[in-house]
Chains A and B, each alone.
Chain A
Amino acid sequence: MSTQVKVKNRLSSTVQSLKPSGIRRFFDLAASMEGVISLGVGEPDFVTPWRMREASISSLERGHTAYTSNAGMLPLRVEIQKYLEERFSVSYHPETEILVTVGASEAIDIALRAILDPGDEVLVVEPCYVSYEPVIRLAGGVPVFLKTTMENQFKLTPQELETHITERTKAIIFCYPNNPTGGTMTAEEWKTLLPIIEKHDLMVISDEIYAELTYGRMHDSIAALPGMKDRTILISGFSKAFAMTGWRLGYVCASPDLLAGMLKIHQYTMLCAPTMAQMAALEALRHGRSDMERMIESYRQRRNYVVDGFRHIGLTCHEPDGAFYAFPSVASTGLSSAEFAEKLLMEEKVAVVPGDVFGESGKGHIRCSYATSMEQLKKALERMERLMGRLS
């Protein structure tokens, strides 16, 4: 037996059972080609606004290079509290209910690890961010998927929720505004789910990383609804709204007991989020609102443009109310998501992500990010139109 095999066997059975990311193969293919227009990018096309970069540089010049409190700098937590209250009418105490994390990804991980016992089931609203399933499994949980459809604007319905609840169901996790569909939920729609959540005493993990990126209306946080704060773990961060992906800075808000549990995991693993990133985030919340608004306006204009474009070339596409993704259906072409995406890449050099990597509900769709320049979007639509012409 070779050494390589022996080492592989030392991996835990959970890790061995995890599937590699469905995006990976596609990424390798796209990256190896010249002249590719990418609509596959899940991050803003803006560089972090200068004021945040400058705040971070300035903090380094002043020698702010030490650890911060495990929970994050208190002034930053105070700003997060003010921001959440002002923008989304949710109120958390900065000292006991807010924890600054290394990106929203860490927040999702510690939230699941803090509440799950082996075998606990977690409901996952599909299509969903690719990390939810593996992170649930790594925390010992069992993911159970709830489907949403384009006909229903990718909203979670009470029927779908209730059908999948069992004795072992501990929590539900979702991301609204949604990656990859751009679907959102209104307060009225949340309210139809609350009786079921309460009846079955479910924990709610609400990933609100795209909360600022809504078009035409404000984001409704489930945590703001009556009786929901104590059973909700609210997760957000700076990556999307403030174009700060590489800074790895997020936060999680929950009732004090839950937060204390998460803090234990955080302090034994991450210790604290990077100081210079926290300094930049502080500046973002204090003075970065206009930068954010400028970016949101630009996403909205591009959203309008691409959705119109997809419909024009014959792809059915619901109008996404949030995030920066459109999720058109390619079912009319007779091709699967992966086949369509591969054909589009190989024949027209446009990279999109096949919808089924985000779960079963994504089958027959492709995720197209419009966080890219108008010039690129225009070219991409022209190329897609050419492909559609050949397929019809």
Chain B
Amino acid sequence: MDRLKQRELLHLLEEDSRMSAEQIGKMIGEPTEVVEQTIAALEAEKVIVKYPALVNWERVDDHPYVNAMIDVKVTPKRDVGFDEVAERICRFPEVKAVYLMSGASYDLSIILEGKTMKEVATFVSQKLSTLDSVVSTATHFILKRYKHDGVELEDRDEDHRMVVTP
């Protein structure tokens, strides 16, 4: 499959990872088998990393959770810079994302998910702050998510176009 079609395939999967190879094939004009082989190759090359569902947990009443963004200032180490501490932070299952930042008064930005605010606070005070390289932390709780991963989580208007038009 050529690169343009491969890109198109990736866009389609990113939009809806449950789309079948047959449907994708029809949409981009390639046989189903070719789509399947390409997807397998892209998975092997780690271009496709995961097929996540984007869940709006706020709509699931019995699933309490708290999201926080934590700014972390660290002391980089000789030879390994920020990588060693970042990798260490990545290993905590409650950590959902870790980014090295530029232009900020801190170095690492961490996105954390916990069941309660207390759980997040415990993680920050007992696990994160106590790491050798960590100089300081600032925790920001996310109050509401409006848009995530390019998707607006609020209800969209229904199709308001006339049923039949010229």
Binding site for B on A (CB under 8 A): 21, 23, 26-27, 30-31, 36, 38, 40-43, 45, 129-131, 179, 297, 301-302, 304-305, 308-309, 351, 353, 372, 374, 378
Q: Is the CB of B166 within 8 A of A301?
A: no
The contact of A129 among B23, B29, B166, by CB within 8 Å, is B166
Q: Is the CB of A353 within 8 A of B164?
A: yes
Q: Is the CB of B166 within 8 A of A130?
A: yes
What would 7 A/B residue contacts be, using CB atoms closer than 8 Å?
A38-B163, A38-B164, A40-B165, A41-B161, A43-B165, A301-B8, A351-B163
Q: Is the CB of B166 within 8 A of A21?
A: yes
Question: Given the complex of chains A and B, what is the CA–CA distance between A126 and B106 in angstroms?
Answer: 66
Question: Given the complex of chains A and B, what is the CA–CA distance between A305 and B29 in angstroms?
Answer: 9
Question: Given the complex of chains A and B, what is the CA–CA distance between A130 and B28 in angstroms?
Answer: 32
Question: Given the complex of chains A and B, what is the CA–CA distance between A351 and B162 in angstroms?
Answer: 11
Question: Given the complex of chains A and B, what is the CA–CA distance between A297 and B8 in angstroms?
Answer: 8
Mask, B8-37, CB within 8 Å of A = 1, is 100110001000000100111100000000
Mask, B138-166, CB within 8 Å of A = 1, is 00000000000000000000010111111
Distance between B64 CB and nearest chain A CB, rounded to angstroms? 31
Question: Given the complex of chains A and B, what is the CA–CA distance between A304 and B8 in angstroms?
Answer: 13
The contact of B164 among A27, A45, A372, A374, by CB within 8 Å, is A27
Residues of chain B with a CB closer than 8 A to A301's CB: 8, 12, 27-28
Given A302-B27, A304-B27, A304-B28, check contact A41 B166 (CB 8 Å). no
Closest to A312 in B: B26
Distance between A129 CB and nearest chain B CB, rounded to angstroms? 6
Residues of chain B with a CB closer than 8 A to A26's CB: 164
Distance between A372 CB and nearest chain B CB, rounded to angstroms? 8
Residues of chain A with a CB closer than 8 A to B166's CB: 21, 23, 42, 129-131, 179
Q: Is the CB of A36 within 8 A of B163?
A: yes
Given A297-B8, A301-B8, check contact A27 B27 (CB 8 Å). no
Closest to B159 in A: A45
Q: Is the CB of B165 within 8 A of A41?
A: yes
Q: Is the CB of B165 within 8 A of A42?
A: yes
Residues of chain A with a CB closer than 8 A to B163's CB: 27, 30-31, 36, 38, 40-41, 351
Given A297-B8, A301-B8, check contact A41 B162 (CB 8 Å). yes
- Known A129-B166, A130-B166; further 20 A-B contacts with Cβ < 8 A: A21-B166, A23-B164, A31-B163, A36-B163, A38-B161, A41-B161, A42-B165, A43-B161, A131-B166, A297-B8, A297-B11, A301-B12, A301-B28, A304-B27, A305-B23, A305-B26, A308-B26, A351-B163, A351-B164, A353-B164
Distance between A127 CB and nearest chain B CB, rounded to angstroms? 12
Given A45-B159, A297-B8, check contact A305 B164 (CB 8 Å). no
Question: Given the complex of chains A and B, what is the CA–CA distance between A27 and B161 in angstroms?
Answer: 12
Residues of chain B with a CB closer than 8 A to A45's CB: 159, 161
Residues of chain A with a CB closer than 8 A to B164's CB: 23, 26-27, 30-31, 38, 40-41, 351, 353
Residue from A31, A302, A374 having most chain B Cβ neighbours under 10 A: A374
Question: Given the complex of chains A and B, what is the CA–CA distance between A41 and B161 in angstroms?
Answer: 7
Distance between B164 CB and nearest chain A CB, rounded to angstroms? 4
Distance between A29 CB and nearest chain B CB, rounded to angstroms? 9
The contact of A27 among B8, B11, B12, B162, by CB within 8 Å, is B162
Question: Given the complex of chains A and B, what is the CA–CA distance between A110 and B73 in angstroms?
Answer: 67
Residues of chain B with a CB closer than 8 A to A130's CB: 166
Residue from A45, A301, A308, A372 having most chain B Cβ neighbours under 10 A: A301
Question: Given the complex of chains A and B, what is the CA–CA distance between A231 and B79 in angstroms?
Answer: 73
Residues of chain A with a CB closer than 8 A to B162's CB: 27, 31, 41
Distance between B12 CB and nearest chain A CB, rounded to angstroms? 7
Distance between B14 CB and nearest chain A CB, rounded to angstroms? 13
Q: Is the CB of A305 within 8 A of B27?
A: yes
Residues of chain B with a CB closer than 8 A to A131's CB: 166
Residues of chain A with a CB closer than 8 A to B29's CB: 304
Residues of chain B with a CB closer than 8 A to A38's CB: 159, 161, 163-164
Residues of chain A with a CB closer than 8 A to B28's CB: 301, 304
Question: Given the complex of chains A and B, what is the CA–CA distance between A36 and B159 in angstroms?
Answer: 12
Closest to B29 in A: A304
Residues of chain A with a CB closer than 8 A to B27's CB: 301-302, 304-305
Residues of chain A with a CB closer than 8 A to B159's CB: 38, 45, 372
Closest to A36 in B: B163
Distance between B11 CB and nearest chain A CB, rounded to angstroms? 8
Question: Given the complex of chains A and B, what is the CA–CA distance between A353 and B164 in angstroms?
Answer: 7
The contact of B26 among A21, A41, A304, A372, by CB within 8 Å, is A304
Question: Given the complex of chains A and B, what is the CA–CA distance between A27 and B163 in angstroms?
Answer: 6
Residues of chain B with a CB closer than 8 A to A40's CB: 163-165
Residues of chain B with a CB closer than 8 A to A41's CB: 161-165
